């Protein structure tokens, strides 16, 4: 008796592995789209919460600016808008950003300041997530 595998056995195992991989790759792409979109949603909702809480805690106004490559939070100080918090934007996750209002402001009581009703859509592949924020600061993830 010989020890080891025959060439035919190795070819059969490789064919089975290739067939399994062919079925798994499309599902993996959808999974990666979902995961990266969820990461971007978390970044956006975190920025909204940090900006609102920062405005309330410091009794000042906070401005959140959304762009594909950066999410910025600035606070209104004695000398005008001062940088406070920065994080990479949705494009760092390969996600596109569509927003009805790229600048959101909160007042010292946590309410929206000015035009604050905002709809943010994050897309990657077939995955799309929507975040809405009302003038009173309520954030919903659809």
Per-10-residue mean pLDDT, the chain, length 142: 82 91 82 93 94 93 95 94 94 94 91 80 94 87 84
Instruction: Catalogue all structural domains in the chain, each as residue range(s) with its CATH number.
Output: 7-141 (3.55.40.10)
**pTM metric for this prediction:** 0.80
- The pLDDT of residue 115: 65
Dist. CA 134–CA 6, nearest whole Å: 67
b/e 86-104 (16+ beta carbons within 10 angstroms → b): eeebbebbebebebebebb
- The pLDDT of residue 111: 87
- The pLDDT of residue 112: 85
- The pLDDT of residue 68: 95
- The pLDDT of residue 42: 95
- The pLDDT of residue 113: 78
Of 101, 115, 102, 105, the residue nearest 63 (C-alpha): 105
Instruction: Name the burial class of residue 50, with classes exposed (0-12), middle (13-18) and buried (19+) by CB atoms within 10 angstroms of its CB.
Output: middle
- The pLDDT of residue 56: 93
- The pLDDT of residue 142: 81
Q: Judge whether 95 and 122 are in contact, CB under 8 Å.
A: yes
């Amino acid at each position: 008796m010989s020890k080891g595998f025959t060439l035919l056995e190795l070819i059969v195992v490789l064919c089975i592995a290739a067939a399994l991989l062919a079925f798994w790759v499309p599902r993996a792409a959808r999974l990666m789209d979902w995961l990266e979109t969820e990461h971007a949603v978390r970044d956006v909702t975190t920025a909204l919460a940090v900006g609102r809480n920062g405005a309330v805690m410091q009794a000042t106004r906070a401005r959140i600016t959304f762009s594909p490559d950066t999410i910025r939070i600035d606070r209104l100080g004695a000398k005008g808008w001062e940088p406070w918090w920065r994080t990479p934007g949705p494009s760092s996750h390969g996600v596109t950003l569509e927003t009805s209002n790229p600048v959101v402001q909160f007042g010292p009581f946590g309410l929206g300041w000015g035009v604050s009703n905002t709809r943010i859509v994050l897309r990657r592949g077939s995955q799309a997530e929507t975040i809405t924020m009302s003038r009173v600061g309520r954030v919903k993830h659809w």
